[in-house]
């Protein structure tokens, strides 16, 4: 089975992230689950940073993937 990836967009290009989605989560549930996890961190930890969010995502099987941001396709 091919790996599924999810882009975590941001208006600031330097904050865009890419994560590998756990195999046992459906596409629809992956979006909902990641959104809930990120919101939970942001609500419970004022001033949280990517490392805080990444740790919680990884605890739930979403693994950060390094990537190179290419040119815009406008």
Q: Going residue by residue through the chain, which has 74 residues, state the pLDDT in tens, using 9 for 90 and above.
A: 689 999 999 999 999 999 999 999 998 899 999 999 999 999 999 889 999 999 999 999 999 999 999 998 88
Residue 13, exposed/middle/buried by CB under 10 A (0-12, 13-18, 19+)? exposed
pTM for the structure as a whole: 0.88
Residues with Cβ within 8 Å of residue 42, at least 6 apart in sequence = 48, 53
Angstrom distance (rounded) from CA 30 to CA 56: 14
User: Where along the chain do its domains lie?
Assistant: 4-64
5 strand-pairing partners: 20
């Amino acid at each position: 089975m091919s790996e599924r990836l999810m882009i975590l967009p941001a208006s600031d290009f330097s904050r865009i992230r890419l994560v590998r989605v756990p195999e046992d989560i459906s596409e629809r549930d992956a979006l909902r689950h990641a959104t809930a996890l990120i919101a939970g961190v942001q609500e419970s930890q004022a001033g949280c940073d990517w490392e805080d969010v990444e740790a919680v995502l990884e605890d739930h099987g979403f693994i950060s993937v390094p990537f190179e941001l290419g040119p815009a396709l406008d």
